[in-house]
Amino acid sequence: MFSKQQQKYVQSLQIKKYRQEHQRFLVEGAKSVQELLKSDLETELLLCTPKFYAENEKILKKISVEQIPQTELEKLGTLQSNDAALAVVKMRENVPLIADADEFALVLDDIRDPGNLGTILRIADWYGIKKVICSETTVDFYNPKVVSASMGSFTRIRVYYSEISKYFENFVKIINSNNSSKKVIIENIDKNNNIEIIGTFLDSENVHHFDFPSSGYIVLGNESNGIGEEVEKLITKKITIPRFGEAESLNVGIATAVVLDNLRRRE
């Protein structure tokens, strides 16, 4: 039986405050739940329709599942229509992430729209980016709309929330407190006294002719205002997506895809 109290608990996870309190988040819909079950994320509670159970019996019979009608599922979650499943999942710890040698990480400075963040995670996952550092003003990674828009990529991307300038200031400390695999970068920093922090701006170097370094950070900025002044000071290389027509700007998800496509084509 699914109690009133459990119902309230599940519904509360639609709100960031309660997600943080319980360190749990919601995963909804067929595609997202299927990806969840293939991942190493820890599922606390799984609710699904008899139809979804029948279609996914192989993967579901190993775990504890409660079958409930579609109408109940929709009452608990945020999706207007959900004839499949909903899970309560343990959030990952907010542990510092750094880009290893030969690796790029994304840095998101104040991305506000959950659809945009979800789309960025999906693109990062397509282009083999595994780590995303988010400013504390960036929308919550565990927001149900972010999870849904990521189309399953929320299971594969690691995220770390931090004030961006603090993140880079404390960089060496972070590296030192980490394991031995990070030594390559410590040496790299020691030798060159810099890490490459690449940001997209208007009227900078054409990304089509830009010579990407072998590792570093790619910064994307706020939907309306771009990269903030504080973070701009940290940028070591400014790039621009060239325009051939008349639109004023590109959406931040689109910009992410174009930059990552240009990064990968060099390899």
Binding residues for its own copies (CB under 8 A): 119, 122-130, 151-153, 156, 208, 241-251, 253-254, 257-258, 261-262, 264-265
Residue among 168 and 212 whose Cβ is closer to its own copies: 212
Q: Residue 202 Cβ, how far from its own copies at the closest point, in Å?
A: 13
With b for 16 or more beta-carbon neighbours within 10 A and e for fewer, the 51-74 pattern comes to ebbeebeeebeeeebebbebebbb
Report the residue number, 19 or 113, with the smaller CB distance to its own copies. Answer: 113
**CB count, 10 Å around CB of 83?**
16
- 209 phi/psi in degrees, rounded to 5: -115, 5
Strand partners, 21: none
> 4 or 265: whose CB is closer to its own copies?
265
Which of 25, 31, 61 is CA-nearest to residue 45?
A: 25
CA 87 to chain CA centroid, Å, is: 19
CB-nearer residue toward its own copies: 50 or 242? 242
Q: Minimum CB separation from its own copies for residue 248, in Å?
A: 7
Taking the complex as a whole, the smallest distance from the CB of residue 253 to its own copies amounts, in Å, to 7
Q: Two tokens at 192?
A: 């060159």
Q: How far apart are CA 250 and CA 253, in angstroms?
A: 8
Helices 114-126/252-264 angle, 10° precision: 10
Give the residue with the Cβ less far from its own copies, 38 or 183: 38
Q: Between 203 and 229, whose beta carbon lies closer to its own copies?
A: 203
- Under a CB-based contact definition with an 8 Å cutoff, are residues 76 and 11 in contact? yes
- Cβ-contact 141, 92 below 8 angstroms: no
CB of 204 to its own copies, least distance (A): 16
Question: Closest approach of Cβ 18 to its own copies, in Å?
Answer: 26
- The Cα 146–Cα 118 span in angstroms is 4
Contact 175, 98 (CB under 8 A): yes
110 dihedral zone (left: phi>0; alpha: psi -120 to 50; beta): left
Nearer to its own copies, 29 or 152 (CB): 152
Which residue lies nearer to its own copies by CB, 88 or 252? 252
Residue located via tokens 């040496």: 187
